[in-house]
Amino acid sequence: MKVALSKLKVLATIIGAGLVINLAPPAQAAPQSISYYMNGDCSDYYDEESEYAFFESEPDWDCYISVTIKPTKPVRTIRLQYWTGKKWAQENSAKTGSAGNGYLYFDPYCSDGSYCDGEYKYRVVVDAASGQKVAYSKNFYVSYYPDDSYYEEEES
């Protein structure tokens, strides 16, 4: 009887500990910090002209967005999206590296293969992961100038 009673006490202790562990509130995810930066020639041009722009006459023009996320884990998917007039469409995506950094690149060519023309609205999306909520950058605009429109404005 003593053996059965001590086995019952051990069992009750294990069950009680299990309930305490299961009833404990879940750990909260660390608050996230996300930074977005426009880099390259677009950033330099913005400093001079107050707009982000691509020019077909400048094929080596380098523009990209760097995204830094803290905490650095879990790895996150970041996406560059543009507004079609009806919905957001994806232009580029990447995963963050071990330091929480990721890079997104613009494609100055439209779906029909021609150089884009006009001003486009963009945003960056950081997908949700392991307790971290989805995050969106503020909308921003990028202008595209094909050769013909660039030279027409220069002649005016």
Q: What is the pLDDT of residue 6?
A: 59
Q: What is the pLDDT of residue 19?
A: 42
Q: What is the pLDDT of residue 148?
A: 74
Cα–Cα dist 98/65, whole Å: 18
Query: What is the total residue count of the chain?
Result: 156
Q: What is the pLDDT of residue 105?
A: 96
* Domains with residue ranges and CATH for the chain: 33-155 (2.60.40.10)
**What 3 state SS string does the chain have?**
CHHHHHHHHHHHHHHHHHHHHHHCCCCCCCCCEEEEEEEEHHHHHHHHHCCEEEECCCCCCCEEEEEEEECCCCCCEEEEEEECCCCEEEEEEEECCCCCEEEEECCCECCCCCECCEEEEEEEEECCECCECCEECCCEEEEEECHHHHHHHHHC
pLDDT, block means (10 residues), the chain with 156 residues: 53 50 52 91 92 93 93 92 96 95 95 94 93 92 83 53
Cα–Cα dist 57/72, whole Å: 39
Cα 47 to chain centroid distance, Å, stands at: 24
Q: What is the pLDDT of residue 131?
A: 82
* Residue type, position 57, single letter: S
